[in-house]
């Protein structure tokens, strides 16, 4: 590998050397002097960079009085640059030795541009739909396992679902709510340099609950991008913004522009080094007053010990439990796991005290990331950029982490009639072990959940190192040793990915050009899963390997005509796309092994079970776009696209979708005179758009197929009946918006209002079993999303040496199920360990249901002595023994897993070369069920089970006394104290079936990121004659989280196979705090 990298580096350097052309300078140098002023022409600007254009090291900076002095030649050009100001160029000539310059702030001079559909760069003011842009600086401020975390709280309407599932860091990305009952079809499309890329996941395991073959987070495709190579990210939120990308972008698009070579002549080298460490935080509120035991036991012994085998002569009978309903910790001594000495076969009682049985398992994780980039321009239309990034991660679970390397090459050459561009990225990621996640005997979190609180976590390590057969009893016979899971139950990965594109743009005629482009995204991945002999789920060992191959090829053409006719400007485009996708997944499993410690398929004891998936899909498209503008203040866009999808049947595989958007810049409309009469209004724009977008399906849905069994030549009939005449889903969207800027851009505001309606959803509705199948595909259902997105930027202070910026975002989405399939009154969207998300007409796609306490029905009352009544409708019913009654007949709505609203705030303070920035993220509302909380509570390990322990609990509620003549329930207040607190907590309050008591509000306020950066003064940079820029920074993430969620991360989800399910936490890993250091050097 090292040899290949050296050869690659030599090749790149040779390419740059051959590419480079240096023009020799001629002429006589003489001294040029002058002053640089602010926009008023009076205030001097210090620290302005003054360089000779196309020269690499000839430059200076202005002093405190704004004065500069530089040696230059006749005919050369001086370039004046200063942060936050528009650059200025002055040509030297006529023997002038004094050149004074006045710079204009960028906010007053530069019109914002964004990258939109097909990679086209547009003026933001011309757009009739909402687009948000995030630059590289915001993406690389802190190191994360997934660069998408850097977008959190910075884009209104952008939503992330995390799984807290390991260093893979998979994230589910949605925009403007859930639009279909199939959650996997609601994610945003990722586009790199105009070409769509695959961002999904491929499962190697199954569901997260009670599954010995649970999931492992290998990361989703979007996480493979290297943020150091990203120039900017544009978030296109509505169908009108993404209509030209086709059905895949019906839910919005994340458009990524990667870096290219430098614009001016010269060579630049940038080096960046990051180091960060992370620690688990936000722990459960463990109780340390009572130890392990059942039903209030007052004694404890892990072993049965004869008096002769004890160093104290005390005999004991094995009395232990994983539950913590035992004796109070009062300094007594009992036989515990470490009481046994293998060397003497004797037992010694140990202090019965609470120990670190949970937190101590987790290590301090560390990430090292180094990146170098070389960028150049030959001054004759050619540019190049080469970068290499190396990342090494060790995660908080011992012996887990990954290594990754990425290489990027960007070339551009402008010739007389054609511009050639090529970008290629190679990404390699490998891991010797990624942790299993979920409530599984092979998951460390499962083992920890079922550990006793008098256990020292290091006893697990001792048992693993010495061998569990050395001891009479295993520390935990319900689950595997967590260190054996970490060091022997390995989940490996080796991924190689190449993506990029080449394009040629031909200037055919004045205003007429043709772009031809071909893009490739190819992923090859090899995974293994191994379990040693003695694993609880596989006593004779286990081995699985999986090959995953994903290929996507996109070929495009785009013919564009651009011309002005006086105040009318016309831009018309006609294009086409041919997309080909192919996926191959080959999984082979040996459920038992012959020889211990040999992990390959040839060591299978009873044959190898193989499963193969192979799918291909092709979509051909034609599209058109007309952009009209008048007087640079009225803008109109009209688009149309037709797709032909191989996943649909002939006669239905063609579908057309149009869009129209418009914007009006009121402040640029001279007849209104806004700037003359209200000069405090810098910019004012209204916009509107409408779009109708189709969405097809996956391969093999329109035909019925036999499915193979695990036995050779065995097949079974399909369980879901196909729909041959399936139609594409349809999304219709309306959007209205307002953009305003005040006080010379010190205050900016953007508001968007949208209405999206999805019909003809592709769903598999349940049918009578007498038909021979469980369900059948149909086109049905109607889902509506309405929402508001607000964003604002404030500059309270903007003076020469000090700037204060504040950015705010806020969004709210109203989701509603208008209808489902005919005859279907409810639809299970997703399920957790307990509870379900169920859609019903009139409800939402996020309604969480589960069993809870039995409630007094409407009209129930308490009858007082004086004959008055107290309404107790909705209060908990308590039985005659004082225990709350659980509902087992009807599911109860617990709330909605989707929040009421989300918000973000980012702020930065900059004084000279010091910059302090912080990002906050918040959400209000949203409910989720925590299996971790339910299990720890029913086991008595949390402080919420201390109240009334062994003294009884008086549960608030009512006792039923009968029915009155009208059928209303007559009640009395409960006054009965529970007889057995263990029964009360274990079987009633925190019963696994009681979803109500372990469902919590996921509202939160997070200090997502803090960063302090110091940029070396420009004077120092100039004196070095080598550096062009340098900065050092320290940062932290997830430093603070205010929430009612009991522990870990309120942005909760569960990884089930290849899907992240919102609203359920299933034995997840802790949320981590990260602290780091960053160094950047530019040469």
pLDDT at residue 987, as a whole number = 92
Rounded to whole angstroms, the Cα distance separating 79 from 81 reads: 6
Tokens describing residue 476: 């935990």
Residue 651: Cβ within 10 Å count: 8
pLDDT over 50 at 759, yes or no: yes
Rounded to whole angstroms, the Cα distance separating 63 from 998 reads: 64
pLDDT at residue 110, as a whole number = 46
Q: How confident is the model at residue 821 (pLDDT cuts 50, 70, 90)?
A: confident
pLDDT over 50 at 107, yes or no: no
pLDDT at residue 328, as a whole number = 93
Q: What is the CA radius of gyration of the chain?
A: 33
H or E element, residue 364? none
pLDDT over 60 at 2, yes or no: no
Q: For the ranges 197-206, 569-578, 628-637, 840-849, which has the lowest average pLDDT?
A: 197-206
pLDDT over 80 at 197, yes or no: yes
Q: For the ranges 424-438, 442-456, 769-783, which has the lowest average pLDDT?
A: 769-783
Average confidence score pLDDT of the chain: 87
Q: What is the pLDDT of residues 528-556, one digit of tens each?
A: 999 999 999 999 999 999 999 999 999 99
pLDDT at residue 57, as a whole number = 58
Stretch 278-282: mean pLDDT: 90
Rounded to whole angstroms, the Cα distance separating 515 from 504 reads: 6
pLDDT at residue 180, as a whole number = 83
Name the pairing type of β-strands 901-911 and 230-236: unpaired
What domains appear along the chain, each with residue ranges and CATH number? 28-109 (2.60.40.1120), 131-281+364-442+489-829+1007-1082 (2.40.170.20), 853-886+929-1001 (no CATH)
Stretch 409-414: mean pLDDT: 93
Say which residue, 650 or 765, is predicted with more confidence: 650
**418 within 8 A of 60, measured Cβ to Cβ:** no
Q: How confident is the model at residue 357 (pLDDT cuts 50, 70, 90)?
A: very high
pLDDT at residue 11, as a whole number = 47
pLDDT over 80 at 55, yes or no: no
**915 within 8 A of 1013, measured Cβ to Cβ:** yes
Task: Residue 213: name the closest of 436, 398, 397, 399 by CA.
Answer: 436
pLDDT over 60 at 1, yes or no: no
- State whether residue 545 is helix, strand or coil: strand
pLDDT at residue 604, as a whole number = 94
Stretch 443-471: mean pLDDT: 92
**482 within 8 A of 461, measured Cβ to Cβ:** no
pLDDT at residue 710, as a whole number = 62
pLDDT at residue 474, as a whole number = 86
Quick one: what percent of the chain has pLDDT higher than 90?
A: 54
Say which residue, 57 or 474, is predicted with more confidence: 474
Q: Give me the phi and psi of 599, to 5 degrees please.
A: -110, 90
pLDDT over 90 at 749, yes or no: yes
pLDDT over 70 at 106, yes or no: no
Say which residue, 117 or 1037, is predicted with more confidence: 1037
pLDDT over 80 at 967, yes or no: yes
Q: For the ranges 147-161, 879-893, 903-917, which has the lowest average pLDDT?
A: 147-161
Q: For the ranges 12-16, 199-203, 327-331, 886-890, which has the lowest average pLDDT?
A: 12-16
Can you name the residues that pair with 929 across neighbouring β-strands? Answer: 999, 1064
Stretch 56-71: mean pLDDT: 78
Return all residues near 904 (Cβ < 8 A) that are at least 6 apart.
Answer: 152, 153, 154, 155, 156, 807, 808, 809, 810, 919, 920, 921, 922
pLDDT over 90 at 17, yes or no: no
Cα 1059 to Cα 107, 172, 208, 504, 970, distances in angstroms:
43, 8, 11, 38, 48
pLDDT over 80 at 564, yes or no: yes
Say which residue, 1063 or 86, is predicted with more confidence: 1063
pLDDT at residue 709, as a whole number = 66
Q: What is the pLDDT of residues 921-952, one digit of tens each?
A: 999 999 999 999 999 999 999 999 999 987 88
Q: What is the pLDDT of residues 727-746, one digit of tens each?
A: 888 889 999 999 999 988 89
Q: How confident is the model at residue 28 (pLDDT cuts 50, 70, 90)?
A: low
Task: Residue 513: name the closest of 576, 421, 423, 419 by CA.
Answer: 419
Stretch 94-101: mean pLDDT: 84
Tokens describing residue 529: 């899963």
Stretch 242-248: mean pLDDT: 76
Q: How confident is the model at residue 21 (pLDDT cuts 50, 70, 90)?
A: very low
Q: For the ranges 90-94, 464-468, 1001-1005, which has the lowest average pLDDT?
A: 90-94
Quick one: what percent of the chain has pLDDT higher than 70?
A: 94
- Specify whether the backbone of 584 is left (phi greater than 0), alpha (psi in -120 to 50) or beta: beta
CA dihedral (775, 778, 781, 786) positive or negative: positive
pLDDT at residue 39, as a whole number = 79
DSSP 705-774: --EE-SSTT-EE--SEE--TTPPPEEEEEEEEEEEEEETTTTEEEEEEEEEEEEEEEEEEEE--GGGSSS
Place of tokens 């889902």: 783
Q: What is the pLDDT of residues 585-595, one digit of tens each?
A: 999 999 999 99
pLDDT at residue 18, as a whole number = 44
pLDDT over 90 at 51, yes or no: no
Stretch 94-99: mean pLDDT: 82
pLDDT at residue 163, as a whole number = 79
pLDDT over 70 at 448, yes or no: yes
CA dihedral (234, 238, 244, 247) positive or negative: positive
Q: What is the pLDDT of residues 657-693, one digit of tens each?
A: 899 999 999 998 988 888 888 989 999 999 999 998 8
Tokens describing residue 896: 């909605």
CA dihedral (967, 994, 930, 204) positive or negative: negative
pLDDT at residue 84, as a whole number = 64
The pTM of this model reads 0.86
pLDDT over 60 at 696, yes or no: yes
pLDDT at residue 9, as a whole number = 45
């Amino acid at each position: 590998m090292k040899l290949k990298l050296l050869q690659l580096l030599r090749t790149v350097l040779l390419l740059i050397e051959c590419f480079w052309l240096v023009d020799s300078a001629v002429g006589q140098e003489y001294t040029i002097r002058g002053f640089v002023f602010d926009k008023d022409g009076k205030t001097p600007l210090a620290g302005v960079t003054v360089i000779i254009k196309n020269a690499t090291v000839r430059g200076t900076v202005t002093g405190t009085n704004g004065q500069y002095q530089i040696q230059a030649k006749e005919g050369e050009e001086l370039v004046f640059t200063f942060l936050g100001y528009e650059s200025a160029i002055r040509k030297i000539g006529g023997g002038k030795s004094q050149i004074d310059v006045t710079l204009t702030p960028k906010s007053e001079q530069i019109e914002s541009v964004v990258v939109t559909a097909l990679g086209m760069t547009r003026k933001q003011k011309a757009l009739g739909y909402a687009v948000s842009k995030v630059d590289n600086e915001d993406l690389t401020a802190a190191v994360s396992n997934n660069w998408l975390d850097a977008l959190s709280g910075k884009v209104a309407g952008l939503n992330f679902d995390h799984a807290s599932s390991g260093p893979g860091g998979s994230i589910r990305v949605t925009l403007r709510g859930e639009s279909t009952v199939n959650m996997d079809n609601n994610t945003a499309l990722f586009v790199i340099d105009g070409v769509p890329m695959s961002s999904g996941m491929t499962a190697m395991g199954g569901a997260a609950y009670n599954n010995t073959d649970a999931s492992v987070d290998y990361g989703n495709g979007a996480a493979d991008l290297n943020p150091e190579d990203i120039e900017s990210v544009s978030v296109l939120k509505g169908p009108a913004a993404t209509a030209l990308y086709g059905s895949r972008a019906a839910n919005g698009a994340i458009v990524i522009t990667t870096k290219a070579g430098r614009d001016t002549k010269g060579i630049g080298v940038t080096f960046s080094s990051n180091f960060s460490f992370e620690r688990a935080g936000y722990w459960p509120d463990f109780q340390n007053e009572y130890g392990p035991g059942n039903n209030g036991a007052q004694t404890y012994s892990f072993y049965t010990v004869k008096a002769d085998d004890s160093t104290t002569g005390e005999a004991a009978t094995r009395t232990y439990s994983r539950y913590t309903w035992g004796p109070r910790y009062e300094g007594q001594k009992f036989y515990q796991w470490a009481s046994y000495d293998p060397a003497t076969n004797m037992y010694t009682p140990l202090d019965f005290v609470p120990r670190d049985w949970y937190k101590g398992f987790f290590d301090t994780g560390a990430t090292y990331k180094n990146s170098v980039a070389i960028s150049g321009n030959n001054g004759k239309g050619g540019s190049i950029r080469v970068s290499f990034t190396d990342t090494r991660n060790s995660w908080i679970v011992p012996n887990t982490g990954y290594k990754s390397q990425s290489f990027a090459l960007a070339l551009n050459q402008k010739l007389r009639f054609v511009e050639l561009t090529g970008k290629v990225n190679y990404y390699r990621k490998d891991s010797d072990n990624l942790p299993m996640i979920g409530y599984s005997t092979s998951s460390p979190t499962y083992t920890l959940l079922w550990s006793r609180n008098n256990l020292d976590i290091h006893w697990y390590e001792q048992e693993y190192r010495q061998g569990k057969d050395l001891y009479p009893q295993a520390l935990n016979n319900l689950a595997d040793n967590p260190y054996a899971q970490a060091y022997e139950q390995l989940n490996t990965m080796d991924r190689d990915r190449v993506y990029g594109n080449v394009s040629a743009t031909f200037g055919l005629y004045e205003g007429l050009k043709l772009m031809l482009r071909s893009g490739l995204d190819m992923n090859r991945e090899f995974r293994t899963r191994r379990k040693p002999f003695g694993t609880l789920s596989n006593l004779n060992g286990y081995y699985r390997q999986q090959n995953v191959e994903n290929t996507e090829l996109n070929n495009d053409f785009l013919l564009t005509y651009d011309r002005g006719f006086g105040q009318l400007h016309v831009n018309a485009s006609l294009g086409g796309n041919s997309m080909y996708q192919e996926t191959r997944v080959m999984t082979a499993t040996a459920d038992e092994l012959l020889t211990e410690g040999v992990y390959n398929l040839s060591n299978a004891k009873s044959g190898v079970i193989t499963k193969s998936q192979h799918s291909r899909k092709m979509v051909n498209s034609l599209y058109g776009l007309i952009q009209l503008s008048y007087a640079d203040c009225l803008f109109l866009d009209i688009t149309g696209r037709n797709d032909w999808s191989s996943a649909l049947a002939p006669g239905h595989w063609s579908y057309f979708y149009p869009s129209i958007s418009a914007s009006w810049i009121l402040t640029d409309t001279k007849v209104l005179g806004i700037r003359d009469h209200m000069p405090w209004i810098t910019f004012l724009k209204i916009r509107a758009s409408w779009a109708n977008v189709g969405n097809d399906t996956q391969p093999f849905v329109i035909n019925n197929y036999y499915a193979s069994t695990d036995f050779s030549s065995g097949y079974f009939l399909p369980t879901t009946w196909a729909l041959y005449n399936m139609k594409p889903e349809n999304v219709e969207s309306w959007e209205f918006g307002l953009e305003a800027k005040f006080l010379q851009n010190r205050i900016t505001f953007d508001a968007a209002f949208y209405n999206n309606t999805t019909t003809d959803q592709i769903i598999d509705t349940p049918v009578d079993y007498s038909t021979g199948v469980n369900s059948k595909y149909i086109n049905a259902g109607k889902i509506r999303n309405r929402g508001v997105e607000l964003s604002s930027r404030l500059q309270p202070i903007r003076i020469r040496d000090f700037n204060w910026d504040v950015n705010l975002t806020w969004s709210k989405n109203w989701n509603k199920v208008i209808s489902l399939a005919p005859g279907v009154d409810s639809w299970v969207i997703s399920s957790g360990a307990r509870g379900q998300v169920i859609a019903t007409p009139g409800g939402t796609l996020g309604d969480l249901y589960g069993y809870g306490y039995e409630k007094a029905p409407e009209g129930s009352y308490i009858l007082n002595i004086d004959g008055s009544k107290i309404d107790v409708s909705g209060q908990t019913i308590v039985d005659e023994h004082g225990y709350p009654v659980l509902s087992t007949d009807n599911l109860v709505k617990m709330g909605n897993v989707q929040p009421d609203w989300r918000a973000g705030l980012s702020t930065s303070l900059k004084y000279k070369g010091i910059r302090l920035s912080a990002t906050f993220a918040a959400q209000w509302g949203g409910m989720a069920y925590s299996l971790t909380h339910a299990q720890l509570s029913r086991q008595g390990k949390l402080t919420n089970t201390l109240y009334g322990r062994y003294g009884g609990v008086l549960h608030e509620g009512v006792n039923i006394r009968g029915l009155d003549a009208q059928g209303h329930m007559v009640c009395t207040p409960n006054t009965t104290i529970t007889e057995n607190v263990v029964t009360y907590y274990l079987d009633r309050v925190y019963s696994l079936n009681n979803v109500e008591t372990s469902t919590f509000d996921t509202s939160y306020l997070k200090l997502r990121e803090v960063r302090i950066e110091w940029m070396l003064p420009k004077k120092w940079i100039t004196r070095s004659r080598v550096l062009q820029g340098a900065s050092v920074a320290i940062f932290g993430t997830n430093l603070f989280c205010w929430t009612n969620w009991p522990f870990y991360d309120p942005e909760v989800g569960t990884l089930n196979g290849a899907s992240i399910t919102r609203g359920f936490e299933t034995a997840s890993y802790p949320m981590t705090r990260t602290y780091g250091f960053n160094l950047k050097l530019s040469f």
